[in-house]
Structure 1
Amino acid sequence: MVVFGRISQALLRSSLTQSRQLSASAAHGHGEQAARTWKILSFVVAIPGVAVCMLNTYLKMQEHAAHHEEPVFIPYSHLRIRSKRFPWGDGNKSLFHNAEVNPLPDGYEGHKE
Structure 2
Amino acid sequence: MAALINHSVRRYLQTSARRAAQVRGPSAVSGGHEGGFKTWKNLTLFVAFPAIGLCAVNCYLDHQNHPHERPPFIKYEYLRIRSKRFPWGDGNHSLFHNPHANALPDGYEDEH
* Cα offset, 1:32, TM superposition: 3.7
Determine whether 1:103 maps to 2:106: no
Pair member with larger Rg: 1
| Contact 2:75–2:107 (8 Å) recurs in 1 | no
Structure 1 vs Structure 2: percent identity of aligned residues?
Answer: 28
* Cα offset, 1:68, TM superposition: 3.0
How does 1:1-40 map onto structure 2 within 5 Å? 2=1, 5-6=3-4, 9-10=7-8, 12-13=10-11, 16=14, 22=19, 26=22, 30=26, 31-32=30-31, 35-40=33-38
TM-score between both structures, scaled by the size of structure 2 = 0.56
Q: CA RMSD in A?
A: 4.0
Unaligned runs of 5+ in 1: none
User: Which whole-Å CA distance do the structure 2 matches of 1:80 and 1:14 have between them?
Assistant: 69
CA separation of 1:99/1:56 partners in 2, compared to 1, >3 Å: closer, same or farther? farther
* Number of corresponding residues: 106
**1:2-40 deviation digits (Å, cap 9, x = unpaired):** 2x65356346546646765x589x46964245x423210
**Of Structure 1 and Structure 2, which has the larger fraction of its residues in helix?**
1
CA separation of 1:81/1:18 partners in 2, compared to 1, >3 Å: closer, same or farther? closer
TM-score between both structures, scaled by the size of structure 1 = 0.55
Unaligned runs of 5+ in 2: none
CA separation of 1:18/1:68 partners in 2, compared to 1, >3 Å: closer, same or farther? same
Determine whether 1:71 maps to 2:70: yes
Q: Greater RCO between the two (CA within 8 Å, min separation 6)? A: 1
Equivalent position amino acid for 1:90 in 2? D
